[in-house]
Amino acid sequence: MRYGTTITAAILMTVVVAAPLAAGAADEKAQTTTQEAKTMASDSWLTSKTKISLFADERVKMTQISVDTAKGVVHLRGKVDSAEAKSAAGDVARGIEGVKSVKNDLQVVAPAARQAVDANDKDIAKAVETRFGKDSQLKKVDVRTDAGVVTLTGQVATIDASAKASEMARGVPGVKSVKNELAFAK
């Protein structure tokens, strides 16, 4: 009988010791989830504040700029009329409280040349998308083109699929360079 009591005591002690560890793991997961939600809300807020600030700034034509934020890093894309407008947009974004850094990928394109570039960009993006549509691994890749620079976003299964996407995009006439921002599915 004493042996049974010892086993029961050992099991009870294990439960008592393991319970705080399990609770700690649950707390850690809850904190991680809470932090991710805060980061997403914060990124959305930074994107909104940046867009509003750019819209209010006379040096920048906001309709030409796309703004995204991830983990406090503001990413500016699109076309502006001058180097001064590009610089001003970067300065405005850096001035937003909470912004960790700014990735300024704005293209300087004179208004007179913009129509030709825009038409070309549409044709390039369409050609890349057509090539990707023939490959089952690349059908869901998003393609954006600015002044001949193709940006690939989305998810692919492997690094090989990512490399293949870059290679196929580079093979399209008119492509100046490829920015591969593809993530790998886990």
- What domains does the chain contain, in order, with CATH numbers? 37-108 (3.30.1340), 111-184 (3.30.1340.30)
Among 69, 70, 74, 150, which residue's Cα sits nearest to residue 107?
A: 150
Q: What is the pLDDT of residues 31-56, one digit of tens each?
A: 666 655 555 568 888 888 988 888 88
Report d(CA 168, CA 148) in Å as an integer.
15
Phi–psi pair at 57, nearest 5 degrees: -85, 125
The CA-based angle 135-141-145, given to 5 degrees, is 115
Average pLDDT (108-121) is 68
Is the pLDDT assigned to residue 79 strictly greater than 90? no
Average pLDDT (102-107) is 90
Question: pTM (2 decimals)?
Answer: 0.49
pLDDT-above-70 percentage for the chain: 72
Q: How far is CA 101 from CA 42, 62, 74, 121, 148, in A?
A: 14, 19, 6, 28, 25
Q: Find all residues with CB under 8 Å of 175, minimum gap 6, and list them.
A: 124, 128, 145, 148, 149, 150, 169
Is the pLDDT assigned to residue 106 strictly greater than 60? yes
Instruction: Output the pLDDT for position 169.
Output: 92
Mean pLDDT of the chain: 80
Tokens coding 19: 């319970």
Q: Picking from 63-77, 100-114, 164-178, which range would have the lowest pLDDT averaged per residue?
A: 100-114
Q: Determine what percent of the chain falls in helix, strand and coil, rounding each to the nearest 5.
A: 55, 25, 20
* Residue, of 26 and 181, whose pLDDT is higher: 181
pLDDT confidence of 19, banded at 50, 70, 90? low
Q: What is the pLDDT of residues 123-181, one digit of tens each?
A: 999 999 999 999 988 988 999 998 889 999 999 999 889 999 999 998 888 888 899 99
Is the pLDDT assigned to residue 30 strictly greater than 70? no
* Residue, of 35 and 98, whose pLDDT is higher: 98
| DSSP assignments along 60-117, one per residue | S-GGGEEEEEETTEEEEEEEESSHHHHHHHHHHHHTSTT--EEEEEEEE--HHHHHHH
Among 47, 48, 51, 113, which residue's Cα sits nearest to residue 80?
A: 113
